[in-house]
Structures are given as C-alpha cells and as structure tokens.
Structure 1
C-alpha cells in the first residue's frame, strides 16, 4: 500500500521543498513529511506533480524505462500549422538526439486558471494551444520541441502523468490517493475530493 500525492504546481515554484534563495517551493503548499517528487517540473512550468514516500513507486512513475506518457498543454506563439504537427508526430532531432514520435494536436484554450502574471497580449498578440503527449523526460523537452518547429512556448502545463490527471485541482491545490495494487489506478472520477489549498507563508 502506497500513498500518492497529486499537486497542481503553480508557475514559478521549485519542484523541491527548500531553497536558500527564498523562492517559492513545494513546502509552501504541501505540508507532508518525507515525500519526494516522482519526476520534476521546471520552475517556469505548471501542472501535475506526483509525490510519494515510496521509492519503488517513484521508480515506476519516473524512470524512462517504464515510458509513462505525459500530457502537456502548451500555449505557443503563432499559428500551429499541419507541417509543425506532422514534424512533432514523426519525431524531431534536437541537440541531444532524435525524439520519439509524439502525439500532437491543436486544442481550444483549456479551462484552467489564468497564470500569475498572465501572458502579455501586447507582446504576444497571436497565440495557439497545443496538446503534446510524450514518453520521454529530457531537460525542457517540450519547449525545445515546439521551438524547433517555430512555435516558442509561452506557457506550459502538465495535464497528466500516465493515468493521473490534473483536473480538477486549481494552482496550489492537492489531493491524495492510496494505491493498494502494484499497478497504477485508472483515471479518477470527474470530481474527486480536493486536498486543502495551501497558501505561501
């Protein structure tokens, strides 16, 4: 039996519990001892972060060998054309080698809270939303992939890791699950109970 915590990591929060530079951390939102992230999200990325005290579960979730699919929503600069989608679906070559083929499609703006601070419409008057599903975890991979096809990422949200989804958590909210089986559970119901919202001190 393992306890898994699902947190909606806000923008500009570190994926760690302490920081000697005074930046916001997970400890400002989730007050649970001896848990660790199963994977990370960049400081300037948002969305689903999974945490647990079970090392074997962290390995099953985060290790590339298990190829857990990760779903991202990216607000990009410009119009997403068919050529860009096809390149992402076929796999593209980055500086550290070719990527695996991704699932890529245009989406409507997701029903999610506005970022603080928001994207400046004067600086970025034309944006689009892309859903990208990958099974790798390279450093800043999604941002590099979209930039490679001429679509710089302005906002990046991780919507899902394997069967676990961000919905319905708002930024800073969390919930927990008890896993009784060695295999991950199916996607939760539409409106599971929310954890308590933690505000930075």
Structure 2
C-alpha cells in the first residue's frame, strides 16, 4: 500500500495595503508597486479579493484556494472607513443603507442594502503617503460602510451616487478579522481568518 502524500501546510497572512500599491504580484506595466515589494511571501500566495491602487487597509492573502473561496462568500462582511467630501447627511446615509444605483461596466446596478453610519470623530489612522486635501477646500467627514458584495470601486461609486465623493478609503474589517493596529505595509502571519458572519443584508 502506497503512503498517502502529506497534505500541504498552507499559510495565511493579513496585510495593511498602503496607498499606491496594486493588490497583485505581477503586472505588465513597469514601475508599479506590487505586494511582493512589501514582504517575501511564499510561492503560491494569492490575494483574496482586491483593493484598488488608491485604497488602503486590510488585505488577506493565503496559499490555500479553499480558504480564498470561504472569504469571498457573499455572507462575509467587508467594512470600510471612507473620508468623504462634505458633511454627510442623514438622508445620504439612509440612501446608502437602502442601496443606490451605480454603474458596473456599461450597465446600471443597484447595490444591496448595507450598513452605513457617520463616524463622529476621525479614525486613528496613519497619515497617507499622498496628502488628502486640507480644510481650506471645505469640510470633510468620515463614514463606516459595511457591504457583502464587491463590485469594482463599489464604495467610491456609492458615496458619489449620494453626493459625497470619497477622498480616502480604508478597509478595516473582513468578517471578524480586523485591521487593528497594523501599520501601512506591515504583514502579520496568522493561523486562520476569523470569518464569523455578523449579519446578512440579502
């Protein structure tokens, strides 16, 4: 009887993706900042989902395709802190919660209901490498938005749809895994990801 091959021991990481980096390891365009520039990840590591180049915050990575599928389930919440242009109103927050029309490709799409509330004080985040415009150009405010879907640049499109364009976007939570005190560019290896579902908006 032949011995069964040993099951590969997978590795999992959480990363604070800084502003200006792509959420990938390979890019056909030169002079782009990639994830491999931040840490010596093992062969076969993949990012679970993406943050666009201008967005920051929590990015999960793994060598396990099954783990990636679990994280990308529609039940798993993703929470973002968005700094928006202007003092966001209760009416705009209500619209976000109920779902708004955004463009996805060449089609219009109504986002699923979500959680959205105003942050009364600015979150304690490290300064961004590229400065946000200052108050001389008008006030800004912060909002927490939690979604269970991930269309391209969705949160930015949502805040723009209600009249408050996003100036800075930071993902702070996926499921029950938090960004916490992880600093921009820092990587933490973890045993697994806490993905307890805290509620569905379906």
Verify same fold: TM over 0.5: yes
- 1:47 & 1:124 partners in 2: Cα distance? 25
Aligned equivalent of 2:86: 78
Give the length in aligned residue pairs.
181
TM-score by length of 1: 0.85
RMSD: 1.6
1:81 Cα shift?
0.6
Tell me if 1:3 matches 2:7: no
In structure 2, the CA distance between the partners of 1:143 and 1:123, relative to structure 1 (3 Å rule), is: farther
- 1:182-193 to 2 correspondence within 5 Å? 184-185=193-194
Contact 2:79–2:171, Cα closer than 8 Å, also in 1: yes
Larger radius of gyration: 2
CA drift of 1:124 comes to 3.5
CA distance in 1, matches of 2:143, 2:53: 20
- Give the match for residue 168 of structure 1: 181
Distance in 2 (CA, whole Å) between partners of 1:63 and 1:31 is 28
Q: Which residue of 2 aligns with 1:149?
A: 162
Matched, 1:44 2:57: no
Q: 2:99 aligns with which of 88, 91, 95?
A: 91
Unpaired segments ≥5 residues, structure 1: 188-201
Q: 5+ unaligned residues in a row in structure 2: which ranges?
A: 1-8, 197-202
- Please give the secondary structure, in 1, of the residue aligned with 2:158: helix
Normalising by structure 2, report the TM-score: 0.85
Q: Deviations over 1:4-49 (max 9, x none)?
A: 1000000010111133311111011121122000100000000000
1:23 aligned to 2:35?
no
Q: Distance in 1 between matches of 2:61 and 2:142?
A: 27
Residue 63 of structure 1: CA displacement? Answer: 4.0
Identify the residue that residue 102 of structure 1 maps to in structure 2. 114
1:32 aligns to 2:41 (yes or no): yes
Structure 1 113/9 Cα, relative in aligned 2: closer, same or farther at 3 Å?
Answer: same
